[in-house]
Structure 1
Amino acid sequence: MTLVNAAIDRIGMTSFQWKLFFLNGFGYAVDSLLISCQGIAQPAVSQEYGSPSAQLAGIALASQVGLLAGAAFWGLSADIIGRRFAFNSSLFLAAIFVIIAGGMPDYISFSALVALYSAAVGGNYILDSTNMLEFLPNKYSWLVTFMSLWWAVGYTISGLLAWAFMSNYSCPSDAVTCARVDNMGWRYLHFTTGGLVLILSILRVVVIRMVQTPRWLLSQNRDEEVISFLANLAEKHGKPLELTLEELRQEGNIIHTDQSVWSAVRIRQHFVALCRTRKLAWSYTVIMLNWLVIGMVSPLYYVFLPYYLASQGRKVGDDSNYTTWRDYAINQVAGLIGPLIAGVLVESKIFGRRGTMAIGAFATMVLQFGYTQIRTPAQNVGVSAAISAVSNIYYGTIYAYTPEILPSAHRATGYAICVVLNRIGGISGVLVGSYANVETTVPLFVCAALFALLIVLSLLLPFESRGKRIQ
């Protein structure tokens, strides 16, 4: 692995990696785009069709269940069959399901399609960050943190589309009846989003011919393919390659590769290796707790954000459809600031990865406590937009830090377990939001308390990956 990393460093950053930054970034963007898409649609769908449960947010719950299934399937399979299959197919499947969802005739069928398109993208940021990291020269590893900008781009697109469609083509919030003809906004949202995702999925196949990452190939004892890829990359970009196949073979063979990738011995190794030492076990335990907590707080705040904006707007005397969705769009645009700040802080000696996560969690906690005390419409949009910005400092960093501290051969498995826990937390968050009454400030206090816990968990992480060689 050290020899391959050194070869990638000598070749340096090429147009291949820059293309990956955009194409893997599409996966980040689609993940957040579709999570917010169902959250935007939920109030309108419930108003038109009624909800099977007076309290349970069934659409949001379907999304979290689908995301859990997707994380388990795409993530756990990536260390077994490689990263390429998910890269080429996940966005296409999601696009088809999103377009179909826009035509669903009732609450249950729409929820089912939400679960399907959520499952299609449920492992995207596992695979996209892993994929990107394993092709990068070491000094460009900060780009994985910066990739979270794409996650904010997805939210921004959904916010602008919601402002355009939901404010103009939705039933008033106080309407007694809500007919299809008066409530086309959520359908337009899904048709437009599905078309966009379809275009992005085609670009992933047309712009670049994805190959398995050299680090994954190495873990499979496929040394010839590693050298072939590096030689082609070096030749195409006029870079040096001193590493030879003989040098790799002199290091010996990877054990158990004579057995099937689906054998119990090889699959077990993907789990056991994550906790091979005491310090590694402690690190992985704390990182899993981080993911479990953000799983609870993300849907509790972001999925129910339209409700908070409306209820807080009602408190200050401005809760119209137009104002709610305008403020939602402003929130999502403000979210673009967070990854930019994170990209700078993670490379500073003072903060590094762990300090940046703690700062993001602390600022979010303070602002969410403050959001419960707003008194004017300007405060409603200003404080909520600030929350979107600073929370993305934390999210952007945790998305990059997680694959950095996991061993390459088992990286996708380790990340997948974290995201599965994240989705379990997400289901819990939806249940809390469903029964805690999002028309009040109670869920906001819960969110703030969870971010306080994230400050502690960030500082408990034993490894600081800034400036370190990523294996």
Structure 2
Amino acid sequence: MRLMNYVMTYSYVLGGVTAVMWIMRFIVFDLQESSKYLIANGRDEEAIEVLHRIARKNGRTVTLTLEKLRAAAHEQAGSTQTANKLSTLQVLKNSVSSLSFSHVTPLFSTRRLAINTSLTIALWGLIGLAYPLFNGFITLYLSTQIPNSTLSTNETYRDYAIISVMGIPGSIVACLVVDFTRKNPGKFAMGGRKVTMAVSTALTGVFLFLFTTSKSHAAVLGYSCASGFTENAMYGVLYAYTPEVFPAPHRGTGDAICSAFNRVTGLLAPIIKIVTTHADGSPIGGASAANGPIFVSATLFLVSSLLMLLLPIETAGKAAL
């Protein structure tokens, strides 16, 4: 009964937050539909209005008119507006028919950019495997390596809350370190995107290695808090760095490739767990093998930190590409 009450409370809290964000989307954030989507559906006038509205919001003016838009699309000026709205399937077919690598090849247009793009994609892939690999095997490790590791529902939620709260300062510290470098251009400072990422990622790997030495609940909680702190710092900088190193016209494509590679490698974590455990969930090779995946996860974080130092582009204190 107590577990059911916790689940219901958790559901109400999440539902309440979602409802508040939904209301804020209409009242606080004046979000507009994408002009590209509107044009794809034949709603040219609405697309022009969205552009004008965004311009007014930013204190700018837009001279684009419906006639100019049609002229740019090689349509006859003054012709009847296309009223036929395309279906979602038609829009999808049109998008696939025009599929090309025109936004991919520019990401590798120069040697320096090609190296940076390749390393960035690799980083997202490695971290995409390391993070779920640890989380997927942590329960197996605790059940085989930590005596009396079973906690009550109240204690479990308490620990989750502590770990989550301790992770918040990680993003703040990372921001301060990066911002210190941005305010000191041309001067050597132990900061910047690359160094901050590398240090926080390396510390995450170190804390995960130390996690495998835990023999008590207090040690597990302590190393979990430490790794949560450094992971937040790492992710905060990585999310800021990634779009900055892709040329603006092709930034969405670069981000999408990184995100896709991150998800693909993440799929390997549950597969690894399936092939390394018995049907009853016990590790193949005995209890001594339960910490193997955590070692692999920690190693992947350390390898990622080394790759971050090899990134040829630093964006702190500089304009994005």
Identify whether the pair has TM-score above 0.5, normalized to the shorter chain.
yes
Q: The residue matched to 1:319 in structure 2 has which SS?
A: coil
The Cα of 1:311 is off from its aligned counterpart by: 5.2
The Cα of 1:267 is off from its aligned counterpart by: 4.7
Q: Which residue of 2 aligns with 1:299?
A: 132
The Cα of 1:455 is off from its aligned counterpart by: 1.1
Conserved? CA contact 1:295–1:423, under 8 Å: yes
TM-score by length of 1: 0.50
Q: Which residue of 2 aligns with 1:80?
A: none
> Matched residues in 1 for 2:102 and 2:306: separation?
31
Conserved? CA contact 2:202–2:302, under 8 Å: yes
The Cα of 1:302 is off from its aligned counterpart by: 3.2
Q: 1:449 aligns with which of 288, 292, 299?
A: 299
Q: CA RMSD in A?
A: 3.5
The Cα of 1:400 is off from its aligned counterpart by: 1.0
Q: Which residue of 1 aligns with 2:58?
A: 233
The Cα of 1:185 is off from its aligned counterpart by: 4.8
Gaps of 5+ in 2: 38-46, 76-90, 182-188, 278-282
Conserved? CA contact 1:274–1:406, under 8 Å: yes
Conserved? CA contact 1:306–1:325, under 8 Å: no
> Matched residues in 2 for 1:263 and 1:244: separation?
31
Give the letter for the 2:150 counterpart. D
The Cα of 1:194 is off from its aligned counterpart by: 3.7
The Cα of 1:342 is off from its aligned counterpart by: 1.0
Q: 2:169 aligns with which of 325, 337, 354?
A: 337
Identity over aligned pairs, percent: 29
Conserved? CA contact 1:309–1:327, under 8 Å: no
Say which structure is richer in helix: 1
Give the letter for the 1:467 counterpart. G
Deviations 1:449-469 (A, max 9, x none): 111111122112111011111
> Matched residues in 2 for 1:187 and 1:434: separation?
31
Counterparts in 2 of 1:155-234, with a 5 A limit?
168-169=2-3, 185-186=6-7, 189-190=10-11, 192-211=13-32, 229-234=54-59
Q: The residue matched to 1:346 in structure 2 has which SS?
A: helix
Q: Which residue of 1 aligns with 2:265?
A: 425
- For the pair 1:382 / 2:222, whether they are aligned, the reply is yes
Q: 1:320 aligns with which of 151, 162, 166?
A: 151
- For the pair 1:412 / 2:252, whether they are aligned, the reply is yes
Q: 1:319 to 1:225 in 2, by over 3 A?
A: closer
Q: Which residue of 1 aligns with 2:44?
A: none
Give the letter for the 2:310 counterpart. L
Work out the number of aligned pairs and report it. 271
> Matched residues in 2 for 1:206 and 1:296: separation?
39
Deviations 1:289-346 (A, max 9, x none): 001011101211235545555655x33x442224344323221221112111111122
Give the letter for the 1:329 counterpart. A
Gaps of 5+ in 1: 1-164, 170-182, 217-221, 235-240, 247-252
Conserved? CA contact 1:306–1:324, under 8 Å: no
Q: 1:344 to 1:302 in 2, by over 3 A?
A: farther
Deviations 1:416-461 (A, max 9, x none): 1111110111111222234445772222111111111111221121
Give the letter for the 1:296 counterpart. L
The Cα of 1:184 is off from its aligned counterpart by: 6.6
Conserved? CA contact 1:309–1:324, under 8 Å: no
The Cα of 1:262 is off from its aligned counterpart by: 3.0
> Matched residues in 2 for 1:258 and 1:272: separation?
27
Conserved? CA contact 2:137–2:294, under 8 Å: no
Conserved? CA contact 2:55–2:62, under 8 Å: no
Rg bigger for which structure?
Answer: 2
Conserved? CA contact 1:405–1:463, under 8 Å: yes
